[in-house]
């Protein structure tokens, strides 16, 4: 009994001592999953330097996990492994500055992403968590390797992936991100904001996948400009006001992007309240059902509305061909409502458009992406016809119910795919 009592007091002393020495909880921990193990390697170094112009503070931790390949960029010293940094002002992305050398990590694995987020949340506690997934982007299925505007790419070969890891020849799908951040057997704290510093990710399909992982999502409907976010500008605003709410942080991300890219043709960015995305998905299903009922006698009107909606990333690879079949959902609702296909269709389109307006809490679009695009903040997959769908080199059967390759939950649960297939059969 004496031993047990003494052990208890030793434990109490050590516990209290540990608590007194623990670092105070920050306001924000910003996690940047920076996969430069591909042809964006030089841009990764560039963006790390932008982050380091501001760096972490006692109230804002900036943690970067960076992977390189050493193929597209030479540094001194040259390195190709995966490193973790708590970025401080003036820091350089070199091994001696890393807080952890992980060796070669496959950044195309969901486990790698979850391990990074758990590490940050355990070691850098904060009131708010902001995760940024940095790489190429390609929409509802994943992030690919398309050529960015103003980026001197050495390759225009696309990859259908999120976080394309060239060394490990692997990639993340949106479903992998979703499952990695919502694993009941290995739970993490829900994010306040998830951001995609990547192209074409502001889609209903992506937002629905992220709804349980984060409160807000920030992303672009279009191809991102040049080197992506202006991290010095963006991070400086959070450092300057660490007491900002999660909603304010999401909105200021759009503001920072607007300020950095307002002169760049085709630039867009939006912030989405993910608490409303399930309602959006349900209302899309209701619109899809209403449209499906009118397929036989109004397919020509639906086709007319679709033709008025321009696809994002036109001529995305610079070869006068379109590859991405994404249109703005809000703009399509407006075009459908104007045609008076039926009272039910018109009403459902107007209801959905109104819900979208409250779900997208901040939206920016360069004037070159307004007329014909709308660019109201959320896109959706909608090839013009069956040929476009069959020849879509990126679809990977993602819009087929029988697909088992990281299936898209929005496709599985709602009726948009059923409408599309019935529509394509009718107009081909």
Q: What number of helices (H) and strands (E) belong to the chain?
A: 14, 13
339 belongs to a structural domain: yes
Q: What is the DSSP letter of 275?
A: G
Q: What confidence tens digit (pLDDT) does each residue in 202-245 have?
A: 999 999 999 999 999 999 999 887 668 999 999 999 999 999 99
16 belongs to a structural domain: no
Crossing angle of the two packed helices 329-338 and 295-307, in degrees rounded to 10: 120
Q: State which of 230, 257, 275 marks the end of a domain.
A: 275
**410-418: average pLDDT:** 96
The single residue listed with the structure tokens 């306001």 is 27
Q: Note the pLDDT of residue 140.
A: 53
- Which band of pLDDT confidence, cut at 50, 70 and 90, is reported for residue 23? low
Co-location of 211 and 300 in the same domain: no
Co-location of 88 and 49 in the same domain: yes
Sequence-distant (≥ 6) Cβ neighbours of residue 160 within 8 angstroms: 138, 141, 142, 144, 171, 394, 396
Q: Considering only 51-65, 162-176, 292-306, which range has the smallest mean pLDDT?
A: 162-176
In degrees, to the nearest 5, what angle opens at C-alpha 330 toward C-alphas 324 and 336? 95
Q: Note the pLDDT of residue 158.
A: 34
Q: What confidence tens digit (pLDDT) does each residue in 277-286 have?
A: 999 999 999 9
> What is the extent of the structural domain holding 57?
25-275
8 belongs to a structural domain: no
Rounded Cα distance between 428 and 390, Å, is: 12
Co-location of 168 and 187 in the same domain: yes
- Which band of pLDDT confidence, cut at 50, 70 and 90, is reported for residue 276? very high
207 belongs to a structural domain: yes
Average pLDDT, the chain: 88
Q: Note the pLDDT of residue 3.
A: 37
Co-location of 270 and 282 in the same domain: no
Co-location of 239 and 283 in the same domain: no
The total of other beta-carbon atoms located within 10 Å of residue 98's CB is: 20
Percent of the chain with pLDDT over 70: 86
Does residue 48 have a pLDDT over 50?
yes
Q: What is the DSSP letter of 340?
A: T
Q: What confidence tens digit (pLDDT) does each residue in 192-204 have?
A: 999 999 889 999 9
Q: State which of 275, 302, 321 marks the end of a domain.
A: 275
Q: State which of 243, 275, 307 marks the end of a domain.
A: 275
- Cα distances from 350 to residues 296, 303, 357, in angstroms, run 22, 18, 11
117 belongs to a structural domain: yes
282 belongs to a structural domain: yes
**345-357: average pLDDT:** 98
**37-66: average pLDDT:** 96
- Which band of pLDDT confidence, cut at 50, 70 and 90, is reported for residue 299? very high
Q: What confidence tens digit (pLDDT) does each residue in 88-99 have?
A: 999 999 999 999
Percent of the chain with pLDDT over 90: 71
**160-168: average pLDDT:** 66
Co-location of 254 and 330 in the same domain: no
Closest Cα to residue 349, out of 305, 307, 389? Answer: 305
* Tokens representing residue 276 in the block: 């409303």
Query: How many domains is the chain built from?
Result: 2
Co-location of 319 and 374 in the same domain: yes
Co-location of 202 and 73 in the same domain: yes
Residue 191's DSSP bridge partners are 214
- Cα distances from 228 to residues 149, 172, 223, in angstroms, run 10, 20, 9
327 belongs to a structural domain: yes
- Cα distances from 416 to residues 72, 343, 352, 379, 420, in angstroms, run 41, 20, 13, 13, 6
Does residue 52 have a pLDDT over 90?
yes
7 belongs to a structural domain: no
Co-location of 105 and 239 in the same domain: yes
- Contacts of 414-417 with C-beta under 8 Å, sequence gap 24+, read 414/281, 414/282, 414/284, 414/285, 414/288, 415/284, 415/285, 415/288, 415/289, 415/292, 416/284, 416/285, 416/288, 416/380, 416/381
């Amino acid at each position: 009994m004496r031993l047990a009592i003494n052990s208890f007091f030793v434990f109490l002393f050590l516990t209290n001592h540990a608590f007194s020495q623990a670092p105070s909880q920050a306001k924000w921990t910003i996690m940047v999953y920076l996969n430069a193990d591909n042809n964006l390697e030089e841009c990764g170094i560039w963006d790390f330097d932008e982050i380091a112009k501001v760096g972490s503070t006692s109230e804002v931790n900036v943690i970067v996990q960076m992977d390189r390949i050493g193929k597209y960029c030479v540094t001194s010293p040259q390195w190709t492994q995966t490193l973790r940094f708590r970025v401080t002002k003036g820091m350089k992305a070199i091994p001696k500055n890393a807080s952890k050398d992980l060796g070669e990590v496959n950044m195309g694995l969901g486990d790698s992403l979850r391990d990074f987020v758990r590490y940050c949340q355990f070691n850098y506690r904060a009131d708010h968590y902001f995760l940024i997934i940095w790489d190429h982007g390609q929409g509802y299925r994943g992030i690919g390797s398309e050529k960015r505007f103003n980026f001197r790419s050495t390759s225009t070969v696309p990859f259908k992936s999120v976080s394309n890891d060239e060394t490990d020849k692997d990639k993340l799908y949106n479903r992998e991100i979703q499952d990695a951040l919502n694993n009941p057997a290995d739970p993490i704290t829900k994010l306040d904001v998830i951001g995609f510093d990547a192209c074409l990710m502001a889609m209903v399909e992506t937002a629905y996948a992220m709804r349980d992982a984060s409160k807000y999502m920030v992303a672009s409907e279009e191809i991102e400009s040049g080197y992506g976010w202006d991290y010095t500008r963006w991070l400086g605003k959070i450092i300057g006001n660490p007491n900002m709410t999660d909603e304010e942080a999401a909105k200021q991300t759009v503001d920072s992007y607007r300020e950095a890219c307002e002169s760049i043709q085709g630039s867009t960015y939006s912030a989405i309240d993910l608490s409303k995305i399930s309602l959006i998905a349900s209302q899309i299903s209701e619109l899809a059902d209403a449209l499906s009922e009118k397929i036989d006698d109004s397919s020509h009107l639906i086709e007319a509305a679709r033709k008025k909606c321009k696809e994002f990333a036109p001529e995305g690879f610079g070869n006068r061909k379109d590859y991405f079949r994404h249109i703005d959902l809000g703009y399509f609702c407006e075009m459908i409502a104007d045609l008076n296909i039926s009272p039910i269709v018109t009403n459902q389109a107007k209801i959905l458009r109104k819900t979208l307006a409250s779900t997208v809490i901040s939206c920016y679009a360069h004037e070159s992406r307004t007329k014909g695009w709308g660019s109201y903040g959320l896109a959706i997959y909608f090839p013009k016809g069956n040929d476009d769908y069959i020849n879509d080199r990126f679809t990977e059967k993602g819009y087929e119910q029988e697909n088992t390759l990281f299936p898209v939950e929005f496709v599985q649960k709602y009726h948009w795919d059923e409408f599309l297939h019935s529509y394509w059969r009718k107009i081909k």
